[in-house]
Amino acid sequence: MSYRTAGSLRSVTLDDVRGAQKMLSGVARTTAMESSRHLSQLAGAPVHLKCENLQRTGSFKLRGAYVRIAGLLPEERAAGVVAASAGNHAQGVALASSLLGVHATVFMPHGAPLPKISATREYGAEVRLHGQVVDETLAAAQEYAATTGAVFIHPFDHPDVIAGQGTVGLEILEQCPEVRTIVVGIGGGGLAAGIAVAVKALRPEVRIVGVQAEGAAAYPPSLAAGRPVSVLNPTTMADGIKVGRPGPVPFEIVGDLVDEVRTVSEDQLSAALLLCLERAKLVVEPAGASPVAALLAEPGAFPGPVVAVLSGGNVDPVLLQRVLRHGMAAQGRYLAVRLRLTDRPGALATLLGVLSAADANVLDVSHVRTDPRLGLTEVEVELHLETKGPAHCVEVGKALRQAGYTVID
């Protein structure tokens, strides 16, 4: 393999990515490319979804982890590997190590979702729970590496990892040779950097757009400063791209080859996840849905054909439930109303009849009878309704007013 050197950093070339592709043959799946009629109509150009959520272990992380571990010297393999992760990287390292016959120890925070902990163990890794946040877990893994001699497998800041992730870019060019824009989520930057290396070497005119969550967007200030800078207390539901500081190796590549980095809100992430589930019938985690969120936010900004990379599908069921509710609320498909009724038999049934006639689905009802603002014969009722969207919410409100009810603000 040949490498371009920038200072003390070894960068990544197309030859590295092609070598990684050969190494991954029979290990990583060539994931599906699905067209999206709904997103294509919004964007006014063909939009395709690169389904890395259907990759082994549920994300692209297996690619880079396998290439990194496969490249270790025999004595390094004998010492084992160690990683720190709340989910996708943990599972990628666990499976890659198992396939290569290397012992893996993975540190995970105590708050990591139980399904991800179980999956990491089932893939063959020894799991150690440490700390409440990933930074604490990372420090424990690095200390373990220093004391035991195990090789620390970084989730994004290593050329071999980036080369492995870059194989996604080669597949995109094979599956959609006419692509003009590739949209990909960015956390530490390994996936975006790898895709950019592969695609720009072969099709330099293709536009590469990175997407970060607003609450964990370290790349815009880092690119503006010309060096990696930290975001304090990154906050987002998209834990797959919740990284407070870019890695030096991917940062160099992203700065050179990625055309633009955009940010998306939590509401946009929720709406994107909901769209993937309802329209594409794909379970995608919030980080994986970030490219779709960017398309929904400004569909006309991406020359087509567009490929949006769905980087992972390992979403905790509890989080999925919350995110779906959030996404439906953001789309105006939930409506909360408070009303005052005369406290008499049949009053609630009459109200529910009005809502049924308006085709609103009642999710929850609560009564308040002890508020001092209420009259002796009054009761306050709060209802949570599922609707068909903002226009239907207006129709429901109109139906209530026509029936003589006053909605309390």
Residues catalogued as catalytic: 61, 311
* Calpha distance 119→60 (Å, rounded): 16
CB atoms within 10 A of CB 115: 14
Is the peptide bond between 305 and the residue preceding it cis, with omega within 30 degrees of 0? yes
Q: Strands 151-152, 81-84: parallel, antiparallel or unpaired by DSSP?
A: parallel
Strand partners, 365: 383
Written as six digits, the tokens of 37 are 């009629």
For 66, half-sphere exposure in the C-beta direction (CA atoms, 13 angstrom radius) is: 29
* Calpha distance 286→293 (Å, rounded): 9
Per-residue exposure over 309-333, b if at least 16 CB sit within 10 Å of its own CB, e if not: bbbbbbbbeeebeebbbbbbebbeb
